[in-house]
Structure 1
């Protein structure tokens, strides 16, 4: 069978048209977005932001979530009642709430991908990296060490929805085995890094302190050994070992580098009495 040029063009155009995948656009207006799922089918969500997902424990075995480059892949393994997920921008801390519910599909039709855009966006297809029309950033009214310490404390102690947005902040990988014995050499405490964040050229590192003695301890930043821009204790006192109050968090702000480069070399404690003359030798000389 011979095909004319017009027939070939028609077939080519038809093939292109049928290969285009429709995408559902959802605008984030601080109201939860409904994203239905079908059991056994994967649904893709384009967020155009680097986000982390807050998942309720009850969905651990019911929902598979994979995330890469601002794209989420959701696959329900069984029926899921309406449940809320929290998507948090790792740079700004902004939250996006989506309500999912998984049902058994009556037919083989697949759900189309979803793209989430900010409310008021005139052109959803415009790349998120195009910032030519964005207004210049406003100067910060609060010093960076202050806002960075506050953000770290909220990230550790506050629910995800209560963490204030902080543009430009990023979480930094920490070495949990970092030797911090020289941090507070005068106090019987153990110190372990539990988290770190960076904003511009400032770093804040959260260090967990635990009392290793049977007495209460007062915490004084003047006893810290190291090169720090700022230091803040979550609590000013540690209860004796074994009490609920025997643990707190210390926030250390450094500039130009992380905590490892700001810690003083560990020095062994010196027993001053070891340098005193022996009493028997003194008596013999007399």
Structure 2
């Protein structure tokens, strides 16, 4: 099974002082050959994550700085594929690389700049100004599917969702009020936003020694939709004791949709004191 190491880099356009090879991304893999021991620069105007096959560990160095990727092969590399995933909308760009020793007198390879293929202009102003048809998939469903694919699926299978972007999680998010009657631990993993909808992925772990059935109707809070990755949780310590919950909220992030945590109250504190107590 191939494993990929993911890193996040912010790539911005910078002035190019030397010759640059322009490659247009048209959803077909882009060939970027390398020469052993010679660094090649790749420019791309996207905030991307890099999927690097485990087989390239120790053979290919990948660095980022000043809006560029720097690829340096330390030995020959058979044809391999790198995956660049847009961190905002999930779009993938595929690079096919291979490295060979440079031949005598062969010049160094020039830098590469990746640009998007031009999109066709609207046929007329009437069509351009017409409202967009409603998406075939309801937005809460699209958000939930995107979140699940990001956590469980390989990068190449993640479906791009235009306009969707990752959002930061509050550092003081208290999730204990979600399912207060169940013995669970919670951890917020990630969140994304599309228009006025947010989706937050939360890891649930069973801390009891019994099976727990997960019912979205038990959730406490103001949610548009709630989806569990699995229908139940196994006992603590079992391989099935953990799952992920996807909560979709409207107009605000998860923190604004949770119910306030209620501290337990000792009813005896409000009872009138007896004469014996006063003595």
TM-score (norm. length: structure 2): 0.77
For the pair 1:40 / 2:34, whether they are aligned, the reply is no
1:155 Cα deviation from its structure 2 partner:
1.0
1:175 Cα deviation from its structure 2 partner:
4.7
1:51 Cα deviation from its structure 2 partner:
2.2
- Per-residue CA deviations over 1:180-234 (Å, capped at 9, x if unaligned) read 1222111011111111111122211100111111111111222212222221111
Q: What residue number does 1:127 align with?
A: none
Q: What residue number does 1:80 align with?
A: 77
Q: What residue number does 1:111 align with?
A: 109
Q: What residue number does 1:101 align with?
A: 98
Q: What residue number does 2:159 align with?
A: 164
Distance 1:252 1:220 in 2: 13
Q: Secondary structure at the match of 2:200?
A: strand
Judge conservation of contact 1:84–1:98 (CA < 8 Å) in 2: yes
Question: Which of these residues, 63, 87, 91, is aligned with residue 88 of structure 2?
Answer: 91
Gaps of 5+ in 1: 1-18, 123-131, 282-286
Question: Which of these residues, 222, 227, 231, is aligned with residue 227 of structure 1?
Answer: 222
For the pair 1:24 / 2:25, whether they are aligned, the reply is no
Gaps of 5+ in 2: 1-15, 275-279
Question: Which of these residues, 241, 248, 251, is aligned with residue 243 of structure 2?
Answer: 248
Q: What residue number does 1:194 align with?
A: 189
- Per-residue CA deviations over 1:98-125 (Å, capped at 9, x if unaligned) read 1112223234732111122345669xxx
For the pair 1:150 / 2:145, whether they are aligned, the reply is yes
CA 1:110 to 1:243, structure 2 compared with 1: closer, same or farther past 3 Å? Answer: same
For the pair 1:140 / 2:138, whether they are aligned, the reply is no
Distance 1:207 1:105 in 2: 50
Distance 1:176 1:239 in 2: 29
Question: Number of residues paired by the alignment?
Answer: 249
Rg bigger for which structure? 1
For the pair 1:237 / 2:235, whether they are aligned, the reply is no
1:59 Cα deviation from its structure 2 partner:
2.5
- State how 1:120-131 maps to structure 2 within 5 Å: none
Name which of structure 1's ranges 172-181 and 187-196 shifts more when overlaid on structure 2. 172-181
- State how 1:197-208 maps to structure 2 within 5 Å: 197-208=192-203
Q: What residue number does 2:7 align with?
A: none
**Structure with higher strand content:** 2
TM-score (norm. length: structure 1): 0.75
Q: What residue number does 2:6 align with?
A: none
